[in-house]
Structure 1
Amino acid sequence: MEKRIEEIKNGKPKEANDTQRQMLDAFMINNLEAILKEENPEEAMKEWLAYIKERQPEEGSYNA
């Protein structure tokens, strides 16, 4: 397991899901860093969460 974690950290995806996870992690890190730089980080976080919730698929939908 430790070897697998190192492979993921070093950018050697074993499956497509690993690549997708790395992309999602990078996306989230970039957004969190941007939020922390905002004048009012708490308000920026609330806006970000509202945006994410708005984009969630409806329960029971094909994409849920």
Structure 2
Amino acid sequence: MYHMFYCIFPEGKQLICHAMSRDLMNWGKIPDYTFGADDEIYELSDWRDPLYRPIRNILPNEPFY
């Protein structure tokens, strides 16, 4: 399973989105895992280079790295 994280910029915000693929050709978006800045520490429209750090498996049979 492959994971891709990418940015989108709707309405003055910057959001990080997540998609998964088994073959690197066909990707499925996972809207439930979209996240953005909290507007307290970081500005909604100007934060970069977030670190993705998995805390649990996303899918039941997915290996944890």
Q: Which has the higher helix share?
A: 1
TM-score by length of 1: 0.23
Question: Rg bigger for which structure?
Answer: 1
Q: Which has the higher strand share?
A: 2
| Larger RCO (CA within 8 A; separation ≥ 6) | 2
TM-score by length of 2: 0.23
